[in-house]
């Protein structure tokens, strides 16, 4: 579960529930990381092809940006 804090909390009203892979990606972002590194992490952790991993990372980043939980 992700809950915004600070100024972001003023613009966001709710909570985001993350599935297993979403939580995995969120933890990956605890340190500075690129989208490509997140794809590689998914590939090493889950039985998924590269195209699916890329799409999942792109969708995850988009959702986090829309919720203003990460910067552009």
Helices (H), the chain: 7-11, 20-28, 35-45, 50-66
**pLDDT on residue 12:** 53
Tell me if 56 sits within 8 A of 21, measured CB to CB. yes
In this structure, the chain runs to a length of 72
Per-residue pLDDT of 32-69, as tens digits, reads: 999 999 999 999 999 999 999 999 999 999 988 887 77
Measure CA 15 to chain center. Answer: 14
Per-residue pLDDT of 14-30, as tens digits, reads: 566 788 999 999 999 98
Tell me if 13 sits within 8 A of 36, measured CB to CB. no
- The domain limits of the chain are 19-66
Residue 3 has pLDDT above 50, yes or no: no
Residue 2 has pLDDT above 70, yes or no: no
**pLDDT on residue 1:** 47
């Amino acid at each position: 579960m992700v809950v915004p804090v600070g100024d972001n909390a003023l613009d966001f009203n709710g909570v985001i529930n993350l599935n297993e892979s979403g939580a995995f990606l969120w933890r990956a972002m605890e340190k500075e990381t690129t989208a490509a590194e997140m794809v590689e992490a998914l590939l090493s952790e889950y039985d998924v092809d590269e195209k699916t991993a890329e799409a999942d990372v792109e969708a995850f980043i988009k959702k986090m940006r829309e919720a203003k939980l990460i910067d552009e």
